[in-house]
Amino acid sequence: MCIGAIDLVFEDKRLASAILLAWLAIVVCVFSNLGLLDSAYVSFGPSPKTVFMTVVLDTWTEWGLVAGFTFVNTCMNDFFSDAISPWLLNTVIDHKSRYLNYPKWVCLAISQV
């Protein structure tokens, strides 16, 4: 029964999204009740309390640059991880693979990067 429910949630993206949204609401409520949303640890937008690596983000420009960097950095990491990891697993690491489309030193460099 439990496995069937997990399969249903995994296959039905609408149900998965609804559960994820409910979880987000629970987390925000818990954080709010604990007072974390009013602390210097969690803050939204520029303010004298918003600090990133000891730099106070008190203008929309500074806050926007940090938010933009965070978004682009996450996109880059996710995209290239999804592009390189399957290739490493299915081509380089797979013992059944007899052909590498790059020289061995290039494969080693890509895997280390």
Model pLDDT for residues 38-82, shown as the tens digit of each residue: 776 777 788 888 888 888 989 999 999 999 999 999 999 999 988
Distances (CA, A) of 53 to 1, 28, 75, 76, 78: 47, 24, 21, 21, 23
* Domain-wise residue ranges, the chain: 1-40, 43-113
- Tokens 């933009």 correspond to 68
Distances (CA, A) of 82 to 68, 75, 86: 21, 11, 7
Q: Is the pTM of this model over 0.95?
A: no
Task: Collapse the DSSP code of 20 into the 3-class scheme (helix H, G, I; strand E, B; otherwise coil) and give the result.
Answer: helix
Task: Collapse the DSSP code of 21 into the 3-class scheme (helix H, G, I; strand E, B; otherwise coil) and give the result.
Answer: helix
